[in-house]
Amino acid sequence: MKKELGILILLVVLCAVTGFENPRFFSHPNLINMANVIGLFGIFSLGSGLVIITAGIDLSVGSMIALTGMLLVMALTQWHWPWPLAVLFVAVVSMALGWAHGALITRFKMQPFIVTLCGLLLYRGIARFIAQDTTLGFGDAAGFKTLQNLANGELFGLPMPFVILIVISIIMWIVLHRSIYGRYLYAAGRNEEAARFSGINTRMVIAGSYIVAALLTGISGVLFAFYTNSVSPSTHGNFYELYGIAAAVLGGCSLRGGEGSVIGILIGTALLQVLQNLVNLLGIPSSLNFAVMGAVVLIGVLADQLFKNRAKKKNARAAE
């Protein structure tokens, strides 16, 4: 809880400083736009965090968003499928890819880094191939305006991606913090061998995290496709996996596994998007976007490590 509180204080201070420097930060259009972007990035960041809790990692997020977005566009505009079927198709494909990741990692004992790195390359290549490396769009959205409204509309004045993020976050909070599966997930992340000897089916638990993460990525793929209104297979979703990993780590997920929370991941996502907004509002060159994010994540992780080392020393002294 201390981690979440610390990152929340940092978020509040950052918002206050940005608002003081540029009052447009607290304008209604800017807040709505930020809520929309937080919703878009937060959904797949929850999936990235889930995988990191198992001591794994998913580098294929951006390419999977490109592939699922491309499949959605083609299903709706070229194959003329009903939109519920098209969305179901995207969800099934995403979960199948997540199952493949989980199977390769748990059954064939391959490293998550290698498996998902191959996925990053493979899915991007498939997306470019099936689209013949051309940008595809939704046109006038004839026949699927309902889906477009669900992705781009508002509910009670809030952007739909943000509303969907809230719903998914509640479900994920229950799964992680109030279910047996969540306890097993943390146990497998802390020490997989010990969890297995205690009777936990670690293969199923870890593979399940990759399937859920892929499903959340597929949902993000649908929303991002409508957000951009077109999908360019070579650039759509580029580096999004880094946003997800950064949000999760900044929110308290340890790359060693066994640590993390839904609240922390959400705060980490919000912090990253506020930083992006700060760069735009304060006139900082956009070329420094990644440099600013990298510096903040590095400082946050370094501070966390220093506090951990300090706590270990205190415990060692107390034991003596």
DSSP string over 81-127 = --HHHHHHHHHHHHHHHHHHHHHHHHTS---HHHHHHHHHHHHHHHH
In this predicted structure, what is the pLDDT of residue 307? 72
Does 59 reside within a domain? yes
pLDDT category of residue 23 using cuts at 50, 70 and 90? confident
% the chain with pLDDT above 90: 64
Work out the pLDDT band at 196, boundaries 50, 70, 90. very high
For the cut 90, the answer to whether the pLDDT of residue 81 exceeds it is yes
* pLDDT, tens only, 225-279: 999 999 999 999 998 998 999 999 888 888 888 989 999 999 999 998 888 888 7
The whole domain housing 28 covers: 2-313
Q: How far is CA 211 from CA 47, 58, 162, 297, in A?
A: 9, 11, 22, 27
Q: Is residue 319 part of a domain?
A: no
> Is residue 184, in this structure, part of any structural domain at all?
yes
Backbone φ, ψ for residue 241 (5° rounding): -60, -30
Residues in the chain: 320
pLDDT at 1: 63
Question: Over 90: is that where the pLDDT of 19 sits?
Answer: no
CATH code of 238's domain: 1.10.3470
Domain assignment present for residue 193? The answer is yes
CA 306 to mean position of chain CA atoms? 26
Predicted local confidence at residue 320, as pLDDT: 66
pLDDT class of 26 with cuts at 50, 70, 90: confident
Question: Is 227 contained in some domain?
Answer: yes
Give the pLDDT band of residue 99 (cuts 50, 70, 90): very high
Q: C-alpha distances in angstroms, 306 versus 293, 299, 310? A: 20, 10, 6
Q: Are 127 and 66 in contact (CB under 8 A)?
A: yes
Cα–Cα dist 50/317, whole Å: 34
pLDDT per residue over 150-164, tens digit each?
Answer: 898 898 889 999 999
Q: How many domains does the chain have?
A: 1
Would residue 318 count as lying in a domain? no
Task: Report the alpha-carbon distance of residue 43 to residue 50 in Å, rounded.
Answer: 11
Does 320 fall in a domain? no
pTM summary value: 0.93
More confident residue, 2 or 237: 237
> Quick one: what percent of the chain has pLDDT higher than 70?
98
Which tens digits make up the pLDDT trace of 126-182?
Answer: 999 999 999 999 988 888 889 998 898 898 889 999 999 999 999 999 999 999 999
Q: What pLDDT, on the 0 to 100 scale, is given for residue 18?
A: 82
Round the average pLDDT of the chain to a whole number and report it. Answer: 90
- Report if residue 302 sits inside a domain: yes
Here the tokens at position 19 are: 């608002």
Give 103's contacts (C-beta < 8 A, 6+ positions apart). 207
CA dist 219 and 150 (Å) reads: 12
| Residue 73 and residue 225 in contact, taking contact as beta carbons nearer than 8 Å | yes
Using one digit for the tens of pLDDT, what is the confidence trace for 202-233? 999 999 999 999 999 999 999 999 999 999 99
**What residues form DSSP beta bridges with 159?**
154
Region 31-39 average pLDDT: 93
What is the mean pLDDT of the segment spanning 77-105? 96
